[in-house]
Amino acid sequence: MTNMEYYAQWLSDLIKKDKNVYLLIIDGWENYLFDKNKDDMTDEQKSRIINMGISEQNAVGFAAGLALGGKKVYVFMFAAFLTSRAAEQIKLDVTYNNADVTFIGIHGGVTGPRIAGYSHWALEDIATLNGYPNIKIFAPSNNEQEIKACLKYSVEHKGPVYIRLENPGINVIKTEQKVQIGKLSFLRFHRNPQFIIISYGEMTNKIIPFLEKLDKMKYRYIFCSAFSLKPFDYDGFAKILKRNIPIIALEEHSRYGGLCSIVAEEIASSNTNVHFKSINVSNQLFNSVYASDSSIYYLFNGNPIEQILSAIETKTNFCEKTFRFIKRKIDHRDRLCICYTLLGIPVLTKKILKNNDISYYVFGIKILRKKCKV
């Protein structure tokens, strides 16, 4: 089941269970997304799914009126148009009144239709809404536990909520991962980590397959999902900062006002010397239509995954800061060899075996062997 189908099924089931729930649809989504869920609905239940047409501002105002009248309201539309075109209505009608409205913004980040161009991308939505009072902001990945936690919270919470649905076309992944609103979700946690990766939404989806490569290279790291952006887990992040190791944050959002800004602010206020690498969409004028992921990477100043590896190889320890060139290879005995070269001359080589024993060689002479704890 895709992300979009999962949300549609969940909302349809909620309408059947609770006669107080209303769903407002923008731009005809009802016709080809929710119609197939109406077969076992009563006429009264169907009447609470309202197609508002292409009228975002009117839809948000209408939703606020229903909510202030005691209804539980969900609004389903493109994130780009919701948070830009209807920004004033969200601020004044919904958040200032603490109205019980949940916005589900689809195609967050750069996941909008490529042929439509940047007008359909939501790259400032989190920054825009973060400054409004009362509203909670979530950006789950395709992890079912994250999605369920956000949707369940929207039912129990009496106030405005924004759920950023980034890539609606990918399948939901069932996991046993326990998640909690307002807490970082730790997807990988090695002992004695060398660095930390933090992300949310579609970036989390992209990074997870990459972790196998990091494991094969014997890196020790923490990888966490910050799907709960507001409330953010400030206490949990403060504990991370105490480790005083490099942090890499990634998001499909402008460099201002999103996760990277939150992380940078916390590092600055902590008075630590933690190295921080932010990977996000550069703040520039977009004037092209991008057809593929590889062309989209232009907006990130390069492939985000390659930027992670580059940051790791230059900032994890003294050797990588000191030596100018680092080469990695697997030798004939299946050992990972990390060779540090100075001016092109091999100086130090670290060989890691499958049992995590590490041997150090200087100019080809073995000088040390130790056990690496993971």
Q: Is residue 71 classed as helix, strand or coil in its secondary structure?
A: coil
Q: How far is residue 160's CA from residue 104's CA, in Å, rounded to a whole number? A: 11
Same domain for 223 and 77, yes or no, is: no
Give me the pLDDT at residue 303, please.
84
Choosing from 274, 290, 316, the residue where a domain stops is 316
**Same domain, yes or no: 333 and 197:** no
Do residues 195 and 265 share a domain? yes
Structure letter (DSSP) for residue 73: E
- Asked whether residue 117 is assigned to any structural domain, the reply reads yes
Reference 200, options 125, 302, 295, 99; nearest CA is 125
Query: For the domain that residue 152 is a member of, what is the CATH number?
Result: 3.40.50.970
Q: Which two tokens stand for residue 158?
A: 């009496």
pLDDT band at 356 (very low <50, low <70, confident <90, very high): low
The answer on pLDDT for 143 being more than 90 is yes
Q: What is the residue-averaged pLDDT of the chain?
A: 87
Which residues is 199 bridged to in the sheet?
225
Given pLDDT bands bounded at 50, 70 and 90, which one contains residue 245?
Answer: confident
**Which range (209-213, 227-231, 300-304) has the least confidence?**
300-304
For residue 140, tell me if it sits in a domain: yes
Is residue 211 a part of any domain in this protein? yes
329 and 300 in a single domain? The answer is no
Query: Would you say residue 106 lies in a domain?
Result: yes
Instruction: Tell me whether residue 171 is in a domain.
Output: no
Are both 296 and 331 inside the same structural domain? no
What pLDDT, on the 0 to 100 scale, is given for residue 157?
96
Per-state percent for the chain, helix, strand, coil, to nearest 5: 40, 25, 35
Assess if residue 175 is contained within a domain.
Answer: no
Question: Do the domain assignments include residue 204?
Answer: yes
pTM of the model: 0.82
Give the pLDDT confidence score for residue 320 in this predicted structure. 47
Residue-number span of the structural domain to which 261 is assigned: 185-316
Domain containing residue 224: CATH number = 3.40.50.920
Instruction: Answer for the pair 204, 179: CB distance below 8 angstroms, yes or no.
Output: no
Residues 160, 248, single domain; the answer is no
What CA–CA distances, in Å, run from 92 to 126, 296, 322?
17, 35, 54
The last residue of a domain, from among 316, 331, 353: 316
How many domains does the chain contain in total? 3
Question: Mean per-residue pLDDT for 176-201?
Answer: 92
Q: Is residue 179 part of a domain?
A: no
Q: Are residues 201 and 266 part of one domain? A: yes
Q: Please indicate, yes or no, whether residues 133 and 237 belong to a single structural domain of this protein.
A: no
Are 299 and 349 contained in the same domain?
Answer: no
Residue-level pLDDT at 110: 84
Residues 59 and 148 both lie in one domain: yes
> In the listed set 117, 134, 165, which residue is the last one of a domain according to the structure?
165
Pair 13, 142 in one domain: yes
Span 298-344, pLDDT tens digits: 778 788 888 888 888 765 554 444 444 566 666 666 677 778 777 66
Buried b (16+ CB within 10 A) or exposed e, 131-141: ebeebbbbbbb
pLDDT tens track for 73-85: 999 999 999 999 9
Q: Is 65 helix (H, G, I), strand (E, B) or coil?
A: helix
The answer on 267 and 246 residing in a single domain is yes
Cα–Cα distance for residue pair 10/239, rounded to 1 Å: 35
32 versus 153: the higher-pLDDT residue is 153
